Amino acid sequence: MDKAFLRPGTPGRSVTVFTRWGRETYQVWLDEKPPGWMARIVTLPDRIWALPGGREVLKLYGSTSEEAEAAAMHFIEAECLQTGRRIASPWQSEAFRDAAKRADIQSGSPAPRMARRLLVRFGSEQPERPGVTANLSETGMFIVTDRPAPVGAPVRIDLRFPECQLALDGLVVWAREKRDEGRSLGFGVRLTNRPPEYLHRVRSLREVSPDNH
C-alpha cells in the first residue's frame, strides 16, 4: 500500500467491526475530485481497501463529500453483511446515523440492509438488463449482474416483488467488476426516487425477516 495517499485526504467517519480475527476499525478518507468527491476506506492503521485482485484502490463517489462518505459507509455495511462481520452497535452507531443524515438520503431512522433475492431489470434509459438483488434497504440495494453499471451513472430499475413491480431511479455509487471468491459481480445503488409503495414493501419484508426473530 502507498501510505502517501493518507496525507492529502480528509478523514471522514470510522466504524468498529467484530471479525473472527478480533476487532477492526474502518476509516473513510475523502478527497475532492471535481465535479464531485471520492471516498476510500482504510482498515486502521494503514491497510487500504482494494478491488478484487488487489491492484486497484476501491473508490466510491458522490456529488458532495457527504454523499461520498455515505456511499463508503453503506459499502462497509454491505461487506459486513456478506462476510458475517458484525458492526459494533449497528444502527445505534453515530457514524452510520450521521453519515446518512448528512447526505440527506433518508428520513427518520437509519435503514438496515437485508439479504433478499428479488428479480430486477435495470438500465440507463430503459430497464432492459436482467439482474437480481443481493440485499436492499429503504435507501438502496446491491444488484448482482455480470454487466455492472458504471459508478456515477443514473440507473432506472424495474424491481419485481412477489405481488407487484415497482419503478425506481437511483445512482450507482460503487461497482464490483472483477470476480472474487465468495463475492458477486454487481453494483450498489443509492435510490433517488423511492415511491411510498417501495418503502412499505421493504418495511414489510424487514418485519418478517428471520433476523428479527
Of 68-72, 139-143, 168-172, which range is least confident?
68-72
User: What pLDDT band is residue 193 in, cutting at 50, 70 and 90?
Assistant: confident
pLDDT at 100 over 50: no
CB 138 within 8 A of CB 190: no
Of 6-10, 31-35, 115-119, which range is least confident?
6-10
Residue % of the chain over a pLDDT of 90: 22
Half-sphere exposure of 107 toward its Cβ, with a 13 Å CA cutoff?
Answer: 4
Average pLDDT, the chain: 79
* The pLDDT value given to residue 75: 81
- CA distances to 106, 123, 149, 170 from 128, in Å: 27, 6, 12, 15
Residue with cell 476487532: 23
CA distance 39 to 68: 5
pLDDT at 150 over 60: yes
Domains and CATH numbers, the chain: 3-103 (no CATH), 114-212 (2.40.10.220)
* The pLDDT value given to residue 8: 55
Half-sphere exposure of 160 toward its Cβ, with a 13 Å CA cutoff?
Answer: 10
How would DSSP label each residue in 138-187?
Answer: SSEEEEE-SSPPPTT-EEEEEEE-SS-EEEEEEEEEEEE-S-BTTB--EE
* 33: helix, strand or coil: strand
Residue with cell 463475492: 183
* The pLDDT value given to residue 210: 52
Mean pLDDT of 132-142: 90
What phi, psi does 4 have (nearest 5°)? Answer: -65, -20
pLDDT at 189 over 70: yes
Residue with cell 424491481: 159
Mean pLDDT of 116-137: 91
pLDDT at 103 over 60: no
